[in-house]
């Protein structure tokens, strides 16, 4: 017998073991599990499905309410604002703005074209257009001043104008014009940029680029020009100094950028004059104011272009580099 083993306690608070039965449930247990007393099983339709919301179940049973889709954006405190349709045509790769179309036609610059459009002077397909940004489509007929405009490839020609031709497109007196000399140069209709007197020779630019023409002739541009002048008498140093310092003419003060005796001439009656002014007959008026008479006046440089390899009465087309330089003036 093990001495360390403690004897069992006779404590009555310890639960007694359940008595053995013969394997049959007691009468009380039989009554608890009678079929009639058990709760009825729920049908499949009554059971909430896993992962499905109560709203989905109602919709399948036809108990949901119809509803309309709400707008994505609603104005605060009211209905959605109406979408404003654009007042101009849609743009695509084949359209061009009306002001650019007019400028490409050689009428004027884009800024001046906007003023013509605003004034109602431009028509597209017979209808007056005043909308800024209007897009011209292929096949549209644009007219201004009763004439149909057309966009053409930009062309640029430089002429060495001879004496005896006036710088105008048409002459009512049927005198010789520079357009007779440039006739046949291209299919596009080109115009002279600026003016040279009938007896003045030298460089004259022709183009159908209206925007560039306006730029080169505008007083604010101050295009650089050089003239070779032959006078009736020798020019004094004092008169040269006066031209550099400034001379008061009837239309205001004028001064030249430089004046020198012409190189290659042993005659002080021939001088070179450089200036930026674009006033009418300005070189002749300067020397006439000082008491000289101009016998010959030849423009040898215009906006960086020279007469090199260009005989009198001939013309040539400008290179892309020269055109790019003019647009940067």
CA atoms of 115 and 137, how far apart (whole Å) = 21
Active-site residue, selected from the candidate residues 57, 140, 197, 257: 197
Between CA 289 and CA 249 the distance in angstroms is 8
Bridge pairing between strands 294-302 and 200-207: parallel
Task: Give the helix/strand (H/E) hosting 142.
Answer: strand 142-144
**Cβ proximity of 97 and 133 under 8 Å:** yes
Tokens for 234? 């020798």
The CA distance from 95 to 78, in Å, is 39
What distance in Å separates the CA atoms of residue 278 and residue 261, rounded to the nearest whole number? 22
Q: DSSP for 175-236?
A: --BHHHHHTTS-SS--EEES---TTEEEEEEEES-HHHHHHHHSTTT---EEEEEEESSPPP
Assess whether 197 carries a catalytic annotation. yes
Do 271 and 262 meet the contact criterion of CB atoms below 8 Å apart?
A: yes
CA 306 to chain centre: 33
List Cα–Cα distances, 265 to 54, 167, 240, 260, 290, in angstroms: 109, 29, 17, 11, 22
Active site residues: 197
């Amino acid at each position: 017998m093990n001495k360390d083993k403690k004897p069992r306690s006779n404590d009555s608070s310890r639960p007694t073991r359940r008595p053995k039965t013969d394997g049959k449930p007691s009468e009380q247990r039989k009554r608890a599990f009678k079929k009639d007393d058990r709760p009825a099983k729920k049908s499949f339709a009554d059971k909430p499905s896993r992962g499905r919301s109560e709203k989905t179940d109602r919709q399948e049973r036809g108990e949901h309410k119809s509803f309309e889709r709400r707008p994505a954006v609603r104005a605060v405190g009211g209905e959605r604002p109406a979408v404003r349709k654009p007042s101009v045509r849609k743009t695509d790769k084949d359209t061009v703005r009306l002001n650019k179309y007019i400028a490409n036609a050689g009428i004027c610059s884009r800024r001046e074209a906007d003023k013509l459009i605003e004034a109602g002077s431009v028509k597209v397909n017979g209808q007056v257009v005043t909308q800024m940004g209007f897009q011209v489509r292929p096949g549209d007929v644009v007219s201004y001043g009763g004439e149909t405009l057309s966009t053409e490839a930009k062309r640029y020609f430089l002429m060495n104008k001879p004496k005896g031709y006036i710088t105008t497109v048409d002459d009512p007196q049927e005198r010789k014009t520079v357009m007779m000399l440039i006739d046949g140069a291209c299919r596009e209709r080109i115009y002279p940029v600026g003016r040279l007197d009938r007896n003045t020779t030298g460089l004259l630019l022709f183009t159908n680029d209206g925007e560039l023409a306006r730029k080169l002739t505008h007083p604010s541009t101050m295009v650089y020009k050089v003239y070779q002048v032959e006078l009736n008498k020798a020019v004094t140093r004092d008169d040269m100094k006066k031209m550099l310092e400034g001379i008061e003419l009837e239309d205001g003060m004028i001064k030249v950028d430089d004046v020198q005796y012409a190189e290659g001439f042993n005659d002080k009656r021939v001088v070179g004059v450089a200036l930026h002014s674009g006033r009418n007959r300005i070189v002749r008026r300067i020397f006439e104011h000082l008491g000289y008479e101009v016998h010959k006046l030849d423009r040898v440089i215009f906006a960086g272009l020279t007469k090199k390899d260009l005989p009198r009465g001939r013309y040539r087309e400008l290179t892309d580099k020269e055109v790019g330089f003019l647009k940067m003036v």
